[in-house]
Amino acid sequence: MIIMAIESSCDETSVAIIKNGKEILSNIISSQIDIHAQYGGVVPEIASRQHILTINPILNEALKEANITKDEIDAIAVTYAPGLQGSLLVGITTAKTIAWLWNKPLIPVNHLEGHMYSVFLENDITPPMITLLVSGGHTEIINFKDYGKYELVGKTKDDAVGEAFDKVARLLGLPYPGGPYIDKCAKQGNKKAYNFPRAMKNTYDFSFSGLKTSVLYKIKDLNEQNIEIPVNDIAASFSQAVADTLVEKTIRAAKELSINNIVITGGVAANSFLRSEMEFCCKKNKFKLFLPSMKLCTDNAAMIGCAAYYKFIRDDYNKDWLNLEAVSRQPITSN
């Protein structure tokens, strides 16, 4: 069973060829990060125009690297939600055109579902599991009960966690995207230098805007006193506050739902404070922790192809593909 998958929901154009939901024959990713960096964030109009320029060459590259022809492909998969409307439309239109031309079924995939399935590409793991999805656009704790059966346990009420990293980095004068820069500085700082807030303590939902404001006031305060900003200490204290919040809620959810497998995915899964805190707490509580490799944690089409495979073998997907539309906001729901 060979699936060609297309992902274009934000600022990465990606096409992958996946065999039997597991073997990655190719996973080509073209990132627009350098283009958007000069604006300090993703500019939607530029993103969709860039997808248009990139998608066809990437498609050919994916076929070439996988060393297969169109006749060997059994189905096309595409991300249809959530994401930037214009960006999603480029992927959807490409997928519809190929499906029609090559006479293949088209499997629509929710981007969050893709992130959740990325773990199956490298690990022998079966549901149930608790997935912590942390990226520039998402902060969710999901109970992955079974294939196609998910329950949203908690989500952010304001900023996504990656967004909070990027905004705090900007306050500290660090480049975009700021997460990796904060991480680097934080490793040299004192995580106990400042006691930043850990919000929404007794729920599974998140809020990062108060934490961000607290960093802003601390910087203002130090500026008024003409004290040089201790970037490393602020980065470390902020990172620890974020890691504590993400880990405490995820572990509490796993305990309450009696689930032993924990997965972290999304770009923020690269964060060293989050990784070490989660590793420590999983060991302490005898939970199994799965961290997909970074190439599969960040946006890529391989994860979409993997999710599509499980939908295809269960024959559980929307077949009215000619009417498939881009949906910018869509929570994770069971099929």
Q: 82 contacts which partner out of Zn ion, ligand KG4, none, CB within 5 to 8 A by kind?
A: none
Q: How far apart are CA 153 and CA 141, in angstroms?
A: 5
Provide, rounded to whole angstroms, the least separation between the CB of residue 44 and ligand KG4: 14
How many helices (H) and strands (E) would you count in the chain? 11, 10
Indicate whether 162 belongs to the interface with ligand KG4 (CB under 6 A): yes
Instruction: Give least dist CB 1 to ligand KG4, A.
Output: 27
**Which residues have a Cβ under 8 Å from the Cβ of 103 and sit 6 or more positions away?**
none
Burial 142-152 (b: 16+ CB within 10 A, else e): bbbeebbebee
Among 159, 163, 277, 299, binds Zn ion (CB under 5 A): 299
Is 14 an interacting residue with respect to Zn ion (CB under 5 A)?
no
Side-chain-side CA neighbours of 90 within 13 Å: the count stands at 28
Q: Which is nearer to ligand KG4, 6 or 99 (CB)?
A: 6
Q: In whole angstroms, how far apart are CA 330 and each of 100, 111, 334? A: 26, 9, 12
**Would you call 2 helix, strand, or coil by DSSP?**
strand
263-283 CB burial, b ≥16 within 10 A, e <16: bbbbbbbbbebbbebbeebbe
Measure Cα distances from 134 to 16, 26, 43, 324 in Å. Answer: 22, 25, 21, 27
The item of ligand KG4, Zn ion, none sharing an interface with residue 48, based on CB under 5 to 8 Å by kind, is none
Q: Which stretch binds ligand KG4 (CB under 6 A): 91-99, 159-167, 189-197, 315-323?
A: 159-167
Q: Report DSSP state, residue 232.
A: H
Give dist(CA 306, CA 75) in Å, integer: 12
Q: Which of 114, 267, 292, 305 binds ligand KG4 (CB under 6 A)?
A: 267
Which of 26, 79, 135, 237 contacts Zn ion by CB under 5 A? Answer: 135
Name the binder of 263 from Zn ion, ligand KG4, none, CB < 5-8 A by kind. Answer: none
By C-beta, is 113 or 166 nearer to ligand KG4? 166
For position 270 contacting ligand KG4 by CB under 6 A, the verdict is yes
- In the structure encoding, which two tokens stand for residue 95, read together? 């997928």
Q: Which of residues 125-144 bind ligand KG4 (CB under 6 A)?
A: 135-137
162 vs 292, beta carbon nearer ligand KG4: 162
Q: What is the per-residue burial (b if ≥16 Cβ within 10 Å, else e) of 201-214?
A: eeebbbbbeebbeb
Q: Looking at 173-181, 229-237, 277-285, 313-321, which segment touches ligand KG4 (CB under 6 A)?
A: 173-181
φ/ψ of 256, rounded to 5, equals: -65, -35
Cβ at position 137, least distance to Zn ion in Å: 6
Q: Which residue minimizes CB distance to Zn ion? A: 299
Which of 191, 271, 278, 305 touches ligand KG4 by CB under 6 A?
Answer: 271
- For the bound state, the minimum distance from the C-beta of residue 11 to Zn ion, rounded and expressed in Å, comes to 10
Q: Which of 202, 264, 277 is nearest to 236 (CA)?
A: 277
Residue 159 lies near ligand KG4 (rule: CB under 6 A): no
Summarize as ranges the residues that interact with ligand KG4 (CB under 6 A). 10, 135-137, 162, 165-166, 177-180, 183, 266-268, 270-271, 298-299
Binding site for Zn ion (CB under 5 A): 135, 299
